[in-house]
Every structure is written in structure tokens, then in C-alpha cells.
């Protein structure tokens, strides 16, 4: 029997958080080996286990996988969260790319200079409410199903819930104009594996704070 996937990353959200979400939602237990110093990262690079000298890196099924998108799509396919055919997969990909764009904006916000943060926060809220969330609200309304694709939980739903919770950290009432997304959030948050991941003490990471930013800057020379 294969061992648990092992995740190599810093002790924060970053690009690994969506991977943690997907594994947790699939009910897969995983281990984490944290990169806490520049030396930890250099060791991985010198050991030749990082294809492009970058993390995240996930050890799974005998592979040392890099590139966030590749890791996520592998996990989604392995655990039957990637649709039943090519068309469903294409829809899942489109929805995931949208939430990835939104989450990217939120993820980088804490690293931005103080004088631009307010402007960028306003842009995140504007994009979430006018560009991204209306798409998912419309999709749920159009087909009347509980989930975005094929009336079955998929990677797209898990990613959307993660994006919603991140957006709510920016503006708690950001879903006020989206009743179907509010209901979607309630449903998906109560799926047992996801509910467990949302409990205190899980491997979900907290929002990025100044202390973590300082660690990241030191490790990655930024």
C-alpha cells in the first residue's frame, strides 16, 4: 500500500493550500514537511527533487510532482473529482481557472506595499462581485443543481468554496447579492470531509500575517 502523500512547502497557505483542500475533500490523509529556512529550500534544490527549482512539491504515487496545476489535476483525476468526460473536464478547468485568478489576487495582497493595499483590496472586491461570482451564481441558477458540473462534487466546487472563504476574509458580506452561492457555501461546507478540514486543528492554514510574510521573504529572497 502506498504511503500518504507528502507535501513540501512553507508553513502557510500560498500555492499549496488548494492542494491541501483537494486532498482533504477527497478524504486523503497527507503529511507535510515544512520549508522553514532558506537552507531547507536549498537542500531540496541540491537533492534534485524540484524539477524547476520551485515548490510546491508533492510526493505521491512514487512521483515527486511539481507545478501546482499539474498536481491539482492529477489529484482531481485520481479521486474522481474531474468529471466523467472531456466536456465536463473542460467546464471544470474553466471554472477552476476563474477561481485561481481571483485567489491569486487575494494571495498576493498581504505582500503588496501598504500604499497600494487599499486600492488592490477594492479591485479584488470589484472583480469578485462583478466578474467572478456572477458566473458561478448564473451556472447554479441555469442548471438548478447543487454542484457546478454534472450534479456531482468536483474540483471546481472545492476550489470555489476555498475562493469564497478567502473573499469573505476580505469582505465578510461579499456574498450578499448571491443567494445561490450562499446556499452553495452552506452545502459544500457540510460535506463531511470538508467540514472536518474546516474545523480548528486541521491542516488548513490561517490567513497570511506579517510574521509569515517575513519568513517567506527570507526563504525566497523576496
Label each residue of the chain as H, E or C: CCCCCEEEECCCCHHHHHHHHHHHHCCCCCEEEECCCHHHHHHHHHCCCCCCCCCCEEEECCEEEECHHHHHHHHHHHCCCCCCCHHHHHHHHHHHHHHHHHHHHHHHHHHCCHHHHHHHHHHHHHHHHHHHHHHHHHHHHHHCCCCCCCCCCCHHHHHHHHHHHHHHHHCCCCCCCCHHHHHHHHHHHCCHHHHHHCCCCCCCCCCCCHHHHHHHHHHHCC
pLDDT of residue 221: 84
Q: What pLDDT, on a 0 to 100 scale, did the predictor assign at position 2? A: 63
> Is the CATH number 3.40.50.620 carried by domain 86-191?
no
CATH class of 6-79+198-212: alpha beta
Q: What is the pLDDT of residue 222?
A: 79
Instruction: Provide mean pLDDT across the span 162-178.
Output: 97
pLDDT band at residue 53 under the 50/70/90 scheme = very high
Residue 116: band (very low, low, confident or very high) from pLDDT cuts 50, 70, 90:
very high
Q: Mean pLDDT throughout 144-173? A: 96
pLDDT beyond 80 at 184: yes
| Lookup: cell for 36 | 522553514
The whole-number average pLDDT for the span 56-74 is: 97
d(CA 221, CA 41): 11
Summarised one tens digit per residue, pLDDT across range 67-107 is: 999 999 999 999 999 999 999 999 999 999 999 999 999 99
pLDDT at res. 213:
93
Residue range(s) occupied by CATH 3.40.30.10 in the chain = 6-79+198-212
Mean pLDDT of the chain: 95
Average pLDDT over residues 193-222: 93
Per-residue pLDDT at 1 exceeds 50:
no
pLDDT at 144: 86
Residues 6+ apart with CB under 8 A from 28: 4, 5, 75, 79
Q: What is the pTM of this model?
A: 0.95
Residues of the chain with CATH 1.20.1050.10: 86-191
Is residue 79 within 8 A of residue 28, CB to CB? The reply is yes
In degrees and rounded to multiples of 5, residue 65 shows phi and psi of -85, 135
Average pLDDT over residues 172-195: 97
**Residue 185 CB burial class (10 angstroms; 0-12, 13-18, ≥19):** middle
Amino acid at each position: 500500500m502506498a504511503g500518504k502523500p507528502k507535501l513540501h512547502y512553507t508553513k502557510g497557505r500560498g500555492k499549496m493550500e488548494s492542494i491541501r483542500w483537494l486532498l482533504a475533500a477527497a478524504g486523503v490523509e497527507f503529511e507535510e514537511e515544512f520549508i522553514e529556512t532558506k537552507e531547507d529550500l536549498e537542500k531540496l534544490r541540491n537533492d534534485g527533487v524540484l524539477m524547476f527549482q520551485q515548490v510546491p512539491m508533492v510526493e505521491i504515487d512514487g512521483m515527486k510532482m511539481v507545478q501546482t496545476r499539474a498536481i491539482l489535476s492529477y489529484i482531481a483525476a485520481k479521486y474522481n473529482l474531474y468529471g466523467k468526460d472531456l466536456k465536463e473536464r473542460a467546464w471544470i478547468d474553466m471554472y477552476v481557472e476563474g477561481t485561481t485568478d481571483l485567489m491569486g489576487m487575494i494571495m498576493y495582497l498581504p505582500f503588496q506595499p501598504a500604499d497600494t493595499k487599499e486600492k488592490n483590496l477594492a479591485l479584488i472586491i470589484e472583480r469578485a462581485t462583478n466578474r467572478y461570482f456572477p458566473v458561478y451564481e448564473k451556472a447554479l441558477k441555469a442548471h438548478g443543481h447543487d454542484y457546478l458540473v454534472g450534479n456531482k462534487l468536483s474540483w471546481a466546487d472545492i476550489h470555489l468554496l476555498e475562493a469564497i472563504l478567502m473573499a469573505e476574509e476580505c469582505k465578510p458580506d461579499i456574498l450578499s447579492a448571491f443567494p445561490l452561492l450562499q446556499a452553495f457555501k452552506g452545502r459544500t461546507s457540510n460535506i463531511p470531509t470538508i467540514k472536518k478540514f474546516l474545523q480548528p486543528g486541521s491542516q488548513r492554514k490561517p490567513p497570511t500575517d506579517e510574521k509569515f510574510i517575513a519568513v517567506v521573504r527570507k526563504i525566497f529572497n523576496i
